[in-house]
C-alpha cells in the first residue's frame, strides 16, 4: 500500500481544519498535512445559519463583557466543561481578529467597533456576520494562509480507520478515491503521531437533515478507535428548506413569511393561526423563531410550537409545508405582530408590505443566495421541514482539545464542547479556538513524541485483509442499509423521541452484520456506512439514558415524559465496551479559578515556553530522518 509520513495530520478542510494547519505551520511543526475527501465539501463552505453567525467576545463600547463573563454564559448551557468554556472565551478575541487580519470583512461602525446582534441563548449581543456565507469566507481566508505557510493538501482521501494502539494514535488509513481500482484498492497509510479531526458532525445519522449533501463526518471512526463521546444526545433541530438545504433562521423568520400547508389534492391552508391560538400569537412566535431557531423542549408552548406544528403537518398528516414570501400571512398588521417585532422591523427600516419586500430591505443577500440556486423567493414557495442541523455533542476533549486517545485531537463540530443550549454561532468561535489550542499543544509535544511505525504497519496489514473480505458481489447496496436506519432515527430519535422506538432501533443496529461492498468501487460507501452505524449506535445509547433519567431536555421532547432531573453539573459520557456502546453521567469540570496576578502568570508562562523551546531545539538536532510526504 501507499505509505506517507507527516509531522502532524489534520483531517478536514473547513474553518477548523485550515486553522489547525495554519497554526501548526506557524508554530514550526514540520510536514503538516491536510487530508480531505473533497476540498470543496463540508459545512464550512456549503452551509448557513449557525455558519453565518460568529459568536465572539463583545468588542464594541457600551457592552460590558469579559472572558470570564462569556465563559459563564457558555458554561450555563448545561453539560459544558468549565475549562473548555474559559478557553473558548479567552481565545475569542485573538481568533476573531486573526480572521479579520486575514481579510474576512466583519463589519464595523464608522469608529471601527465590531458591533454585534442577538442570537439564540445570547445575553450580550455578541454575534456578528459577513452574510449567509460567513464560514465560506473564513475557510477561503484560512486556506490561503495555511497553504502559503507550507501545509500540504491530500485531496480525495477518505479516512476509514484510525490506528490506535495502547491508547495512542499512530496514524490513520484512508482510501485514495482516485485509485480504487488498483490492487490495494487505493489504501493509503499515513504515519503520524498527531491527528486533528476537523470533520464536522456525523451528518448522515438522520434522513431529515440540513447538512449539505457533501458533508459526511468521521465521528464513528473515532468512537470505534476508543475515543469517548460527550453529550451525544444533544443536537440542534429546526425549520429548514429541503430542496436547497438551508436553515431558515434570523431574517428569514423575522420578516414574517406565510406558512402554508398543501394536501395531496393541492388544497392549501394556513395552519399556524389554528395551531397557535390566533393570528397575532402566530406572528409573534414566528418572529421569535428568528433568534430562537433551534427547537427547544422548554419552549414547546412558545416559539418551538412552530416546529411542532410544521412536524405535525409533514410527518403525521402527510402534507407538504411551504414558506410564502410573496404574501403577508393571515391577520398581518403592525398591531398584530406586537411591539417587539414592530420595533425591530422599524429600526431595520424594513416595515413594508409583503415578506419579500421586508427581506429585501433587511437582508438582500438572503434573497440572492436562493436565487443562485434557482429559487426566486418573490415567486417560488419554499418547501420546509424540521431537520437536524448541528451536533452539540461530539468527541470528549480536554482543555487542549485532545480526546481520550493520546495524540488524537478534535476541533469544530467534531468536538463535544457544547451543552444542551449553546449561543447561536458559538460553533465558529469554538472551532477557531479549539484548533489553535490543539496546534499549540502538538507543537509543545512534537519534539519528544516518538513514532512506532511497526505497530502502525501491522494494523494496516490487518485492515487490508479485512477490507478484501468486505467485497461480496451478492451484498445489498450499502446505501440501502443506511436508508432505513436514517429514517428511523428521524422518526424516533430526533427532536421528538420515542423510548420504545429507540430501544428497537438500537437492538436492530447492534445485530447488523458488517456492511459489505459489491465491488471495489463501493468500498468507500460500505466503510462510510459502518462509520455512520457506529455514530447512530453511540448516539442512541446516550439518548436512551438521557430520556430515562432526564425526560424532555434541551433539543429533545420525549413522548410521554415531562422534563425530569436535568442532572445539573453533569455531562453524558459514551464509550465503547466490546462490541457495544455504553453511556453514563460524569461531573463537568468546573470553571477554573482566576489566576490574574501578573508576576505569577509571567513566571509560569516563561517557564513553559522555555521548556518548549529547549525541547524543540533538541529535537531538531537529535531526531532521526523526519521525512515529509
SS3 state at 577: strand
Question: Could you report the per-residue pLDDT of 487-524, keeping only the tens digit for each?
Answer: 999 999 999 999 999 999 999 999 999 999 999 899 99
SS3 state at 530: helix
All residues at 6 or more sequence positions from 250 whose CB lies less than 8 Å from its CB, including other chains: 49, 52, 53, 290, 291, 293, 363, 366
Largest Cα–Cα distance in the chain? 77
Rounded to an integer, the average pLDDT of 79-96 is 97
CB 227 within 8 A of CB 199: no
Distances (CA, A) of 11 to 142, 173, 198, 222, 224: 15, 12, 6, 12, 17
Q: Identify any residues that bridge with 117 across adjacent strands, giving them in sequence order.
A: 127
CB 502 within 8 A of CB 205: no
Mean pLDDT lowest for which of 66-80, 219-233, 421-435, 438-452?
A: 438-452
Q: Is the pLDDT of residue 242 over 80?
A: yes
Give the whole-angstrom CA distance, residue 552 versus residue 555: 8
Q: Is the pLDDT of residue 620 over 60?
A: no
Cell for 306?
412552530
Interaxial angle between packed helices 426-445 and 92-101, expressed in degrees from 0 to 180 and rounded to the nearest 10? 100
Q: Is the pLDDT of residue 87 over 90?
A: yes
Question: Could you report the per-residue pLDDT of 412-463, keeping only the tens digit for each?
Answer: 999 999 988 888 889 999 999 999 999 999 999 987 777 778 888 998 888 8
Give the whole-angstrom CA distance, residue 171 versus residue 191: 5
Per-residue pLDDT, 558: 96
Per-residue pLDDT, 319: 97
In the structure, what pLDDT confidence band is assigned to residue 245 with cuts at 50, 70 and 90?
very high
Strands of 80-212 (E only): list them.
127-128, 152-154, 157-165, 168-176, 187-191, 195-197
CB 174 within 8 A of CB 157: yes
Question: Could you report the per-residue pLDDT of 339-355, keeping only the tens digit for each?
Answer: 999 999 999 999 999 99
Question: Could you report the per-residue pLDDT of 521-576, keeping only the tens digit for each?
Answer: 999 999 999 999 999 999 999 999 999 999 999 999 999 987 777 777 999 999 99
Task: State how beta strands 8-11 and 168-176 pair.
Answer: unpaired
Interaxial angle between packed helices 355-362 and 364-371, expressed in degrees from 0 to 180 and rounded to the nearest 10? 110
Question: Could you report the per-residue pLDDT of 362-384, keeping only the tens digit for each?
Answer: 999 999 999 999 999 999 999 99
In the structure, what pLDDT confidence band is assigned to residue 621 with cuts at 50, 70 and 90?
very low
In 3D, which of 336, 323, 242, 330 has the Cα closest to residue 290?
Answer: 323
Mean pLDDT lowest for which of 20-24, 285-289, 439-443, 617-621?
A: 617-621
**How buried is 605 (Cβ within 10 angstroms: 0-12 exposed, 13-18 middle, 19+ buried)?**
exposed
More confident residue, 490 or 628: 490
Q: Which of 116-130, 291-305, 556-570 has the highest mean pLDDT?
A: 291-305
Question: Could you report the per-residue pLDDT of 165-178, keeping only the tens digit for each?
Answer: 989 999 999 999 99
Q: Is the pLDDT of residue 45 over 80?
A: yes
Per-residue pLDDT, 189: 96
Rounded to an integer, the average pLDDT of 590-604 is 87
> What is the spatial order of strands in the sheet that 168-176 belongs to?
2-5, 187-191, 168-176, 157-165
Give a three-class secondary structure readout of 494-527: CCEECHHHHHHHHHHHHCCCCCCECCHHHHHHHH
CB 200 within 8 A of CB 42: yes
All residues at 6 or more sequence positions from 14 whose CB lies less than 8 Å from its CB, including other chains: 42, 43, 44, 45, 135, 139, 198, 200, 412, 431
Give the whole-angstrom CA distance, residue 194 versus residue 200: 18
Per-residue pLDDT, 628: 25
3-state helix, strand, coil in the chain (%, to 5): 40, 20, 40
In 3D, which of 325, 326, 327, 308 has the Cα closest to residue 317?
Answer: 308
pTM: 0.93
Per-residue pLDDT, 513: 93
Rounded to an integer, the average pLDDT of 98-104 is 97
In the structure, what pLDDT confidence band is assigned to residue 472 with cuts at 50, 70 and 90?
very high
What percent of the chain has pLDDT above 90? 79
Radius of gyration (C-alpha) of the chain in whole angstroms: 24
In 3D, which of 530, 629, 531, 522 has the Cα closest to residue 185?
Answer: 522
Supply the mean pLDDT for the chain: 92
Per-residue pLDDT, 622: 34
Amino acid at each position: 500500500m501507499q505509505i506517507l509520513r507527516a509531522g502532524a495530520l489534520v483531517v478536514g478542510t473547513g474553518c477548523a481544519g485550515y486553522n489547525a494547519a495554519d497554526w501548526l505551520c506557524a508554530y514550526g511543526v514540520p510536514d503538516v498535512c491536510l487530508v480531505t475527501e473533497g476540498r470543496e465539501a463540508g459545512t464550512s463552505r456549503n452551509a448557513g445559519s449557525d455558519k453565518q453567525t460568529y459568536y465572539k467576545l463583545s468588542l464594541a463600547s457600551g457592552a460590558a463583557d469579559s472572558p470570564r463573563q462569556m465563559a459563564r454564559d457558555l458554561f450555563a448551557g448545561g453539560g459544558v466543561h468549565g475549562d473548555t468554556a474559559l478557553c473558548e472565551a479567552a481565545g475569542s478575541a485573538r481568533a476573531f481578529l486573526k480572521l479579520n487580519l486575514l481579510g474576512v470583512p466583519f463589519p464595523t461602525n464608522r469608529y471601527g467597533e465590531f458591533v454585534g446582534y442577538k442570537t439564540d441563548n445570547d445575553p450580550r449581543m455578541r454575534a456578528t456576520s459577513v452574510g449567509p456565507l460567513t464560514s465560506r469566507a473564513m475557510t477561503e481566508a484560512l486556506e490561503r494562509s495555511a497553504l502559503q505557510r507550507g501545509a500540504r493538501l491530500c485531496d480525495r482521501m477518505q479516512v476509514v480507520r484510525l490506528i490506535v494502539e495502547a491508547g495512542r494514535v499512530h496514524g490513520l488509513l484512508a482510501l485514495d478515491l482516485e485509485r480504487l481500482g488498483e490492487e490495494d484498492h487505493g489504501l493509503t497509510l499515513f504515519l503520524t503521531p498527531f491527528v486533528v479531526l476537523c470533520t464536522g458532525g456525523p451528518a448522515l445519522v438522520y434522513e431529515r437533515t440540513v447538512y449539505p449533501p457533501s458533508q459526511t463526518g468521521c465521528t464513528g471512526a473515532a468512537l470505534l478507535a476508543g475515543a469517548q463521546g460527550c453529550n451525544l444526545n444533544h443536537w440542534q433541530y429546526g425549520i429548514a428548506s429541503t430542496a436547497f438545504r438551508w436553515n431558515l433562521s434570523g431574517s428569514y423568520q423575522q420578516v414574517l413569511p406565510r406558512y402554508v400547508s398543501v394536501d395531496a389534492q393541492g388544497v392549501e391552508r394556513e395552519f399556524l393561526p389554528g395551531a397557535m391560538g390566533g393570528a397575532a400569537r402566530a406572528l409573534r412566535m414566528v418572529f421569535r423563531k428568528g433568534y430562537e431557531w433551534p427547537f427547544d423542549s422548554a419552549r414547546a408552548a412558545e416559539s418551538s410550537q412552530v416546529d411542532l406544528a410544521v412536524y405535525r403537518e409533514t410527518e403525521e398528516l402527510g402534507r407538504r409545508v411551504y414558506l410564502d414570501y410573496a404574501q403577508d400571512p393571515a391577520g398581518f398588521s403592525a398591531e398584530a405582530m406586537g411591539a417587539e417585532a414592530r420595533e425591530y422591523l422599524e429600526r431595520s427600516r424594513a416595515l413594508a408590505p409583503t415578506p419579500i419586500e421586508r427581506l429585501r430591505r433587511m437582508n438582500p443577500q438572503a434573497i440572492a443566495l436562493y436565487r443562485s440556486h434557482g429559487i426566486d423567493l418573490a415567486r417560488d414557495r419554499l418547501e420546509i421541514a424540521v431537520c437536524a442541523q448541528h451536533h452539540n455533542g461530539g468527541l470528549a476533549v480536554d482543555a487542549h482539545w485532545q480526546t481520550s486517545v493520546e495524540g488524537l485531537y478534535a476541533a469544530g463540530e467534531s468536538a463535544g464542547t457544547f451543552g444542551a443550549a449553546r449561543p447561536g454561532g458559538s460553533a465558529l468561535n469554538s472551532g477557531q479556538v479549539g484548533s489553535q489550542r490543539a496546534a499549540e499543544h502538538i507543537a509543545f509535544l512534537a519534539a519528544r513524541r516518538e513514532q512506532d511505525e511497526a505497530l502502525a504497519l501491522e494494523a494496516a496489514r490487518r485492515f487490508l485483509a479485512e477490507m478484501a473480505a468486505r467485497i461480496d458481489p451478492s451484498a445489498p447496496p450499502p446505501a440501502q442499509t443506511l436508508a432505513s436506519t436514517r429514517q428511523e432515527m428521524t422518526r424516533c430519535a430526533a427532536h421528538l423521541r420515542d423510548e420504545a422506538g429507540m430501544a428497537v432501533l438500537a437492538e436492530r443496529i447492534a445485530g447488523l452484520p458488517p456492511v459489505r461492498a459489491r465491488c471495489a468501487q463501493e468500498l468507500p460507501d460500505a466503510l462510510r456506512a459502518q462509520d455512520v452505524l457506529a455514530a447512530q449506535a453511540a448516539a442512541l445509547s446516550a439518548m436512551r439514558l438521557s430520556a430515562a433519567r432526564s425526560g424532555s431536555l434541551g433539543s429533545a421532547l420525549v413522548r410521554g415524559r415531562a422534563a425530569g432531573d436535568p442532572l445539573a453539573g453533569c455531562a453524558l459520557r459514551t464509550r465503547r465496551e466490546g462490541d457495544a456502546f455504553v453511556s453514563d453521567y460524569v461531573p463537568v469540570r468546573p470553571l477554573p479559578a482566576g489566576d490574574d496576578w501578573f508576576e505569577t502568570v509571567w513566571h509560569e508562562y516563561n517557564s513553559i515556553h522555555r521548556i518548549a523551546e529547549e525541547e524543540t531545539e533538541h529535537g531538531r538536532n537529535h531526531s532521526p530522518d523526519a521525512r515529509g510526504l
